[in-house]
Chains A and B, each alone.
Chain A
Amino acid sequence: MSDTFSYDAIVIGGGHNGLTNAAYLAKAGKKVLVLEQRHLVGGAAITEELRPGFQFTTFSYALSLLRPEIIQELDLVRYGFMPLLMRSHFAPMENGDYFLLGPDTGLNRQEIARHSKADVDGMERFEHDTARVRQFLRPLFDSIPPNLFSDDPADAEKMAWLLKHLGTGDKKVIHDTVRLLTGSIADFCDDYLESDIIKATICSAACVGIKLGPMSPGSGMNWLYLSMGEHDGLGGAWSFHKGGNGGFTQVLARAATAYGAEIRLNSHVDHLITDKGEVKGVALQDGTEFRAPIVVSSLDPRRTFLEIADPRELPADLVETIQRFRFQGVSSKVNFALDGLPEYPALSGRTDQYLGFINMAPTVEYMERAYDAAKYGWYSERPYMDACIQSLMDPDMAPPGKHVMSCYVMYTPYELKDSTWQAERENMADRVQATIQSFFPNFNDLVLQREIVTPDIIEAKTGLSEGNIYAGEFFPHQMYFFRPAPGYSDYRTPIRGYYQCGSGTHPGGCVIGAPGRLASFEVLRDGR
């Protein structure tokens, strides 16, 4: 015997895109239910107190790509939105030197000159050229891709707009765009810069979340994607959110609830209920049923099409495309509770270098070698890591004088050759800690506790297939028109009333909200 409840719309998954979508639908007057499988909302953007007073950003740990439209349209400030712009970018080097960028462009010139005089203006050309590419692509990023394969006049109109936009682009900007979209970030950097640490610093931003090295074609596109963010109009800038990324999803949950959405926790959706190709509702694993003419899945494409929906109700070519959709997660986290701040010998007594990302990727080759291991099913001897000590900017993250350090670890493949993460987890974290220790000699003494999150754990806890943080790999053939599948980039599915709004749809992953927002427009346009 199962309960039946009725809504205008059901959103599957209380991650940031699900909550964003629900907030927009509720704001438009729909009676919305969000179903979240876990005991808390946030999906991969959560903050957990694993030790009294220590707030861990278990998975995602920073904000950049969140669309400013969402902050404004959902009035998130009213619900507690509070980004803390990062102040610095710090890259320790293996010879004990470092590269440290801060908020003063004049001083940054001096720091770049310490490594290469030619790179002072080289960097400025790089920044200007890439800013122009971002400006050129932004309208594509923030709008719904036309369906290349539809005969709907609206799609033809969007296609005409797209061609016109491409036609108005400056020759150099278009060429730079293609160079970034198709080439490697290492090659692109070589065109502007000569210092290895400076190139490595740029390349490191390309090597987050994808199973590609900085020398692989395709890494340029990932760099471009991750630089599409902004804060307060500063292109490519990153920030922390007050209370960590979980603090941000709590803001979204408050907004969604204020607009009238209902959030139901501990509600694991098992399958869609459909009738004659039309969605009727969902059933939970415990048998509870909810009815609605609109169901929006914020889960990744594999779960949306192959698990929640019954693939037998879908066209075979779509099922085949989704089956071969690549996930291949490579991301891990090792989060630390620290008794104090790490000491960097060359900056003894200083801590201002920790007010942002701490990038342990001293050379392009270091990163490429770290990637090599992943190609063959193993994790790096010396991993590439992106760490940050959020408690230094946000005192609410740790008890006074103590700190939390989020450490993102790249190139830990979901599938290990002849082993399991169960067996390798501690070994991997030991390598991470040993590598950090090699840069910060007092680090081991500071560690009070560590939390290890490998791709299998990301998958198990957040539902992201193979632990891919973007809900699907960033390949050109899995982006824009083709995300997640040709003909389905407009958030609809072949099942009437069933929509997608997760990071596996356009534009893609990161705490960005764009899929949730753009999908809500299509849902509302259909007027179901």
Chain B
Amino acid sequence: MMRTTPFHPRLAEFSQSQMWGNWSGYLSAVRYDLSSKYEYFGVRNAAGFFDTSPLHKYWIRGRDAELLCSFVFARDVRTLKPGRAQYTIWCDDAGFVMEDGVLFRFSADEFMLTAAEPNFGFLKKLSSRYDVEIVDATEDYASLALQGPRSRDILEVLTPDISGLRYFGFTETKIANTPVIISRTGFSGDLGYEVMMPAADALRVLDEILEAGHPHGIRPYGDEALGMTRIEAGLPLIGVEFNSSRYAWTAEDRFTPDELGLGWLLKGIEDDSRPFIGRDAILRERTDGSSRWRTVGITVAWSDFYELFDSRGHLAVPDEIPVAWESMLYGANDERIGYATSFMYSPVLQRHIGIARVKPMYAEPGTDIYLEQTVNHEYINVRATVTTLPFYNPERKTA
């Protein structure tokens, strides 16, 4: 029997489609509406909430907490102030990315890591020589992401404490008399927050949020709409853009931070005072210029996509649901140059977009490349253009 999250009784009422997926053994909505596009518009125009309860949550506490974090995580945690969170990754000794997550700093010696995949054993093993305690709090908390331009208006009704919250800041406050942790984080590339609360009080908090959100058009969104917004935001997803290098069978399935477009997390790694896992290999990669890939955005001009189908007697019907497979990329001379890991039609940009891995020489924005599509049961290439990420980045996200 699949498990359900603490929000499930309410979510089940919302679900018109009754389409549930499986996230770590929990039912997780594919979509609630009959079409995920309306959930997507909910996030972009009003506010949507996504049940993130199955996220793994680990307390990292103790005198050596900062020391451990600065050793495990590739992004420097020493500059992270209490009340702030950071997106981070951890690598293996060869400098390949294992996983990613968000690290919250509650005090000098107290952190919480949230991650999509289980890491308790990994953290515990690494912590054995440190004065720290790792606690798996996954089931203690329910969590939801409230994303979209109206998210602040909704939460402000419930707790004025979030008014001044900056991007990636968080605060401990109360909703419905229940202690909650609200962070200005999310996976949508829009203004948004994430709310963590004791699992036992989850429905009470959700109901307060729903009541405050109703006049603002709040609605739940599922995995498909989440995928759409995160591709527009240019955010990589584990299981799609990459998998943990720990479980890879071949070198082709391992990627370095620079190859994944995450090199920006590694500010200051030249500084010898922080020997985190994978650092030497990453420095070597940079010195040797041995990165095999660059992560870029690709766009397909509307007219090219239309022509691709129209000229073959077909209707061009773009699909906003991200395709579940990789699409091959070619250069002007039909040479293989990489592949799109994510691809979709973006309603907000009115064109097809994708996140792709290309050989470094093809990574320059503006480069013409060719994307393989299937039309009339044939592989046909359509012209695409290399762009920077993110595709969609409204000012309100960080303002």
Contact surface of A with B, Cβ cutoff 8 Å: 68-69, 71-72, 76-77, 81-85, 87, 102-104, 107, 131, 135, 232-235, 242, 352, 355, 392-396, 400-401
Contact A77 B38 (CB under 8 A): no
| Alpha-carbon distance A234/B349, docked complex (angstroms) | 16
**A400-B34 in contact given A72-B301, A232-B320, A395-B45 (Cβ < 8 Å):** no
Contact A103 B315 (CB under 8 A): no
B162 CB → nearest A CB, Å:
18
| Alpha-carbon distance A234/B17, docked complex (angstroms) | 21
24 contacts between A and B (CB under 8 A): A68-B306, A71-B302, A72-B301, A72-B351, A77-B350, A81-B350, A83-B347, A87-B38, A102-B35, A103-B33, A103-B34, A103-B35, A104-B34, A107-B34, A232-B318, A233-B306, A234-B317, A235-B315, A242-B45, A393-B45, A393-B217, A394-B45, A395-B150, A401-B214
Contact B350 A233 (CB under 8 A): no
> What residues on B are CB-neighbors of A71 within 8 Å?
302, 350
Main secondary structure of the interface of A (DSSP, over half): mixed
Contact A395 B46 (CB under 8 A): yes
| Alpha-carbon distance A394/B17, docked complex (angstroms) | 23
Contact surface of B with A, Cβ cutoff 8 Å: 16-17, 33-35, 37-38, 41, 44-46, 150, 214-217, 301-303, 306, 310, 315-318, 320, 345, 347-351
Contact B216 A400 (CB under 8 A): yes
Contact A72 B34 (CB under 8 A): no
**A131-B45 in contact given A68-B306, A72-B301, A232-B345 (Cβ < 8 Å):** no
Contact A102 B306 (CB under 8 A): no
Q: Chain B: which residue is nearest A234 at the CB level?
A: B317
Contact A392 B350 (CB under 8 A): no
A84 CB → nearest B CB, Å:
6
A-B contact count (CB 8 A): 76
> What residues on A are CB-neighbors of B45 within 8 Å?
82, 84, 242, 393-396
| Alpha-carbon distance A421/B302, docked complex (angstroms) | 46
> What residues on B are CB-neighbors of A102 within 8 Å?
34-35
> What residues on B are CB-neighbors of A392 within 8 Å?
217
> What residues on A are CB-neighbors of B216 within 8 Å?
395, 400
| Alpha-carbon distance A37/B17, docked complex (angstroms) | 50
Contact A104 B35 (CB under 8 A): yes
Q: Chain A: which residue is nearest B148 at the CB level?
A: A395
Q: Which of B33, B41, B317, B318 contacts A84 (CB 8 A)?
A: B41
Contact B348 A77 (CB under 8 A): yes
Contact B215 A400 (CB under 8 A): yes
A453 CB → nearest B CB, Å:
27
Q: Chain B: which residue is nearest A108 at the CB level?
A: B34
> What residues on B are CB-neighbors of A135 within 8 Å?
310, 315
**A395-B217 in contact given A84-B45, A233-B318 (Cβ < 8 Å):** yes
Q: Please name the 6 residue pairs, one residue from A and one from B, whose CB atoms are nearest each other, closest first.
A: A400-B215, A103-B35, A104-B34, A401-B215, A233-B318, A395-B217
**A85-B41 in contact given A72-B301, A103-B34 (Cβ < 8 Å):** yes
| Alpha-carbon distance A71/B301, docked complex (angstroms) | 11
| Alpha-carbon distance A352/B16, docked complex (angstroms) | 11
| Alpha-carbon distance A109/B301, docked complex (angstroms) | 34
B43 CB → nearest A CB, Å:
12
